[in-house]
């Protein structure tokens, strides 16, 4: 993924499109549409409708996983969505404990790699 480092504003625009754009897009979506469409994360139809692509959905899901992993590292009692828990568990980044979940050494290593990349 070359030069696909997204800003918070771009993530917010993707999330807003995921929730559904009713009528005219917000300023956040409008100012980020061109770059996100160029990165193939958004698609714009001929009639102007903006939709999230599969790549955009994947990027948002991965961001939810990273945020969730960071949250669990800070507080093992953090409650995460089921799909995020299932993914992190399947990848051996977390394990279930009596009080919730614990980040494994593999999960901590992944977080360190992500932080080293500046993401």
Least confident interval from 52-56, 57-61, 75-79: 75-79
Question: How many domains in the chain?
Answer: 2
Does residue 1 surpass a pLDDT of 80? no
Do 70 and 39 reside in the same domain of the chain? no
| In contact, 112 and 104? CB cutoff 8 Å | no
Mean predicted confidence (pLDDT) in 59-66: 95
Which residues constitute the domain of residue 42? 8-52
d(CA 119, CA 67): 11
Closest CA to 10 of 23, 37, 28, 24: 28
Residue 3 lies in a domain: no
pTM for the predicted model, two decimal places: 0.86
Residue 1 lies in a domain: no
- pLDDT at 3 (0 to 100): 56
Do 69 and 22 reside in the same domain of the chain? no
Does residue 81 surpass a pLDDT of 90? yes
Mean predicted confidence (pLDDT) in 56-81: 93
- Percent of the residues in the chain that have a pLDDT greater than 70, as a whole number: 97
Residue 31 lies in a domain: yes
Do 23 and 62 reside in the same domain of the chain? no
């Amino acid at each position: 993924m070359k030069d696909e480092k997204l800003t918070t504003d771009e993530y917010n625009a993707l999330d807003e499109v995921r929730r559904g754009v009713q009528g005219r897009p917000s300023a956040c979506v409008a100012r980020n549409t061109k770059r996100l469409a160029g990165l193939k994360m958004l698609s714009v139809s001929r009639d102007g409708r903006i939709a999230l692509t599969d790549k955009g959905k994947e990027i948002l899901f991965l961001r939810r996983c990273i945020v969730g992993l960071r949250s669990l590292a800070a507080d093992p009692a953090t409650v995460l969505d089921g799909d995020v828990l299932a993914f992190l568990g399947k990848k051996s980044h977390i394990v279930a404990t009596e009080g919730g979940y614990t980040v494994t050494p593999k999960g901590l290593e992944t977080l360190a790699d992500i932080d080293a990349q500046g993401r």
